[in-house]
A = this chain, B = another copy of it.
């Protein structure tokens, strides 16, 4: 990588994504009156806003309100109290491992999260209790310059579609981006190292963990060595990031950070299943069911004899789309089934149980069997595992498309070619 090209690229990226002092002031001016309402409670600002690694345009602020251990069973009650304090604001109760309160004020969204105050990261009661330790670790390890490197890395992850630990993405969280820069030193070093990754990849900043993990990427949490901070990163996200790093080193470009919208045309037979979600349920809950559905569709179609090119999912508003790309929509009613070699104990059984049995050139028994399904729509409908209220509409793509469906049909992301 030529360094002048890289620093010029980084400058261009930062110009678009690094919040200005005015951006910060604007957020703070909205935040101040909210914080005044919780005066008297012990609170801490957390998340990327507190770590100064946030990106322009994202305006979520996490405010943790700390309680002692005895309060862990009255979190619901606490959130209700907070809701009362925020009267006049637009609020919404939400649930992760335990409840929290979302307060909306124009363009900003403040999450008021009750947490248990603990001595160290490995003594946590619920997952959120770890967050203050993360914030402290990042602020103690990263220079202001490195925080900008984190921003560049985050935008890179966003551009190639692997930013976020939520089920929909199964990618890299903001904290993982921070740990990568903390470990390798700079954005370009992360690129260099990630381009050489071969799973399982293991990073242990404190060099203190002996625990084995199963996930393809292991980044031992510096504040809790029993935990893999990168457990959410799927093999696909890991591969995408590593491969994008290889390509970026060869040919750095803004396309990785800000991919242009692409157009795609249907190559195989492309079925689109539109699932209209008609219930207000947390995204991670819905996407958990979407991921399961995608896996079932793959498995059932393949078992039924369909040749799958790709199955993918994306959302547009409250509609989840599942794209299913087949080599062919129509397959034969009959297929060849392989039986045992003639000299195996079970060969007589095979001949008795099956119709249309013969002996092949290789000395194995074969039979022709009838397929249970030859209509892929039927199989897909039976495979949908969405539990929340929804409506389904199936269509076949015949024409070019842009946006998410265009990306799905084009297959190749813009940074790859």
Contact = CB atoms under 8 A, between A and B. Distances in A.
Interface of A: 197-199, 216, 234-236, 238-240, 242-243, 246-247, 250, 267-269, 305, 307-310, 326-328, 330-336, 341-343, 347-348, 351, 355-368, 410-413, 416-417
A236 B360 CA distance: 6
Contacts of A358: 310, 411-413, 416
Contacts of A342: 239-240, 242-243
Contacts of A331: 327-328
Given A343-B199, A356-B411, A361-B236, A267 B368 contact: yes
A310 B327 contact: no
Most interface-central of A326, A332, A413 (chain B CB within 10 A) = A332
Report, nearest first, the 8 A-B pairs whose CB atoms are least far apart: A239-B363, A328-B332, A198-B343, A327-B332, A239-B342, A235-B363, A356-B411, A267-B334
| Number of chain copies forming the complex | 2
15 contacts: A235-B361, A236-B362, A239-B342, A239-B364, A243-B359, A246-B348, A247-B351, A267-B334, A267-B368, A268-B334, A268-B368, A328-B330, A328-B331, A356-B411, A357-B416
B327 A328 contact: no
Contact of A336 (B269, B310, B336): B310
Given A235-B361, A236-B363, A309 B334 contact: yes
A351 B250 CA distance: 13
Contacts of A268: 332-334, 368
Contacts of A357: 411-412, 416-417
Contacts of A243: 342, 347, 351, 359, 365
